[in-house]
Amino acid sequence: MTDRPETLRLALAQANPVVGDIAGNTEKARAMRAEGARLGADLVVFPELFLAGYPPEDLVKKPAFIEACRRALESLAAETGDGGPALLIGAPFAEDGKLYNSMALLDGGRIEAVRHKVELPNYGVFDEKRVFDAGPFPGPIGFRGIRLGVPICEDIWVPDVVECLVETGAEILVVPNGSPYWHDKAALRLNVAVERVVESGLPLVYLNQVGGQDELVFDGGSFGLAADRRLAFQMPAYEETVELSVWEKGADEVWRPGEGPAATLPDHDAADWMACVVGLRDYVDKNRFPGIVLGLSGGIDSAVCAAIAVDALGPSRVHAIMLPYRYTSQTSLEDAAACADALGIRYDTVPIGPAVDALEHMLGPLFEQHAPDITEENLQSRVRGTVLMAVSNKFGPMVVTTGNKSEMSVGYATLYGDMNGGFNPIKDLYKTEVFRLARWRNANRPADVLGPTGVVIPERIIDKPPSAELRENQTDQDSLPPYDILDGILERLVEDEKGVAEIIAEGFEEATVRRIEHLLYIAEYKRRQAAPGVKLTRRNFGRDRRYPITNRFRDRG
């Protein structure tokens, strides 16, 4: 081992891996190591399970996958024999018949040390206990005379692992993460990190991955805390980058970070918008779609989805189609065209009348004893879904579906119609949030998007009453309470799991609360068939909230 240094040059690779692309992730590690070498780094740190991509889910049950990760790890380790920076990198690691979520120190041409994750999260979107074994409490890793404590992600959400590292001589805490975004998550992470610094007296480096993986979005936002709790550096959100942090040991044996990046994190609305953009972009690009196609109705939801798509992919990769029928208003026709023009995207019109009329004619003998009802309304939606899927099949773009969380909560959507699609960027946004983000985007253009400045969602779309336009003079409030009331009830039922009596006590009308609870439960079968979409709230529909489809429970309180 070399003499104890007085300086540590730490490069933080806030990286965007692709799950399962071991070769691609390995190449990215090489490129980021080269950037670390250019910056003069001693050590380049990567996020949790970087070589596999995070979360790899049941891929890690395949022995061939684990073996490929081990080969990649050994290949990178051999390359550190060139005298350049060492690597601290995440990978699944099999040892003594167990499989761990691990970080490996690669230095001097070999795998110098491995540490395993102790606290395996098993809540919300996480189910690591299904696929990994919990590691033993770790001691620090010796790196060129410095004792690095490496608690992995969830390991800092409880005090025990850091306490063990302090007792065994750690000097700096380096925390690799795969921490997904939801509302106000950055503040929560910082608070947890500060708690560990206060308890341990040690400085801390928090490195998070970035990018979209199915429904999860990782927002980066890596940071460092000095031992006195001072925020020493802040890396940007939603940006893949390598940043250098230089640490020096004082006469008191405490390591102190020098000046580093000082990015400003996005506020609530900007963070939500960028999560939608990054989630859609990476879903499209990582699954190798050439672009997207969506129905542009002249309503708020499809307009916001179109704006997100253009910000994510650029106007040349977004195709909007208006699918009018006899109930489509002239206002909607004008608004959809104006939105497409503002975004600079291809816009086509495909009237659906001939197909709807043909279906009604075909079904006429079966339906002749029955008055028209929601069945005929749903035919319109299903024809629209068929047209969009045909365009997708013919030309290759993925269909974006545009239902919001309020609608999906109460089943205000048509299976095999407007629910058709491969991905939904606003799936976890309530209707009131969709309106708010539309106004926000018209007033703001984030730095890292491909869409235009100025008003991209015509104000008339934002101002008019929402309507599916499936019958004359229809509005959403014909069958639903006002969205501010609906969303208030839904947030309490879904996010907070509050009881009916508790919600009524907060001032909501009893019959409305009970009706919404009933609609929420009976729409579960639709949500199980819905496209994936960006997670933005604490409890999205899907991995966060797993309710039975067959369910007769109702809260009688």
Q: Which of 28, 35, 112, 117 is flagged as catalytic?
A: 117
Catalytic residue among 35, 48, 119, 407: 48
Compute the C-alpha angle 397/401/404, nearest 5°: 155
Structure tokens at 36: 């670390």
Contact (CB, 8 A) for 471 and 361: no
> Residue 48 catalytic?
yes
List, in sequence order, the alpha helices (H) in 344-450. Answer: 353-367, 374-395, 405-410, 431-443
pLDDT per position as a tens digit, 546-557: 888 888 888 887
Cα 160 to Cα 136: distance, rounded to the nearest angstrom: 12
Catalytic annotation present for 27: no
Task: Name the strand (E) or helix (H) holding 74.
Answer: helix 63-79
- Neighbouring CB atoms inside 10 A of 546's CB total 9
CATH of domain 269-527: 3.40.50.620
- Which CATH number is 7-251 given? 3.60.110.10
Q: 472 catalytic, yes or no?
A: no
pLDDT at position 477 is: 63
Domain spans in the chain, listed from the N-terminal domain onward = 7-251, 269-527
Amino acid at 397: P
φ and ψ of 204, to 5 deg: -140, 140
> Peptide bond before 140: cis, by omega within 30 degrees of 0?
no
Backbone angles phi, psi at 503, to 5 degrees: -70, -40
Q: Quote the CA–CA distance of 82 and 261 in Å, as a whole number.
A: 29
From the list 153, 164, 276, 339, the catalytic residue is: 153
Please spell the DSSP secondary structure of 495-520, one letter per residue: IS---HHHHHHTT--HHHHHHHHHHH
Structure tokens at 196: 């560990």
pTM of the model: 0.93
pLDDT tens string for the chain (557 positions)?
Answer: 445 568 999 999 999 999 999 999 999 999 999 999 999 999 999 999 999 999 999 999 999 999 999 999 999 999 999 999 999 999 999 999 999 999 999 999 999 999 999 999 887 778 888 999 999 999 999 999 899 999 999 999 999 999 999 999 999 999 999 999 998 899 999 999 999 999 999 999 999 999 999 999 999 999 999 999 999 999 999 999 999 999 999 888 889 988 788 999 999 999 999 999 999 999 999 999 999 999 999 999 999 999 999 999 999 999 999 999 998 889 999 999 999 999 999 999 999 999 999 999 999 999 998 998 889 899 999 999 999 999 999 999 999 999 999 999 999 999 999 999 999 999 999 999 999 999 999 999 999 899 999 999 999 999 987 666 555 655 656 578 899 999 999 999 999 999 999 999 999 999 999 999 999 999 999 999 999 999 998 888 888 888 888 888 888 87
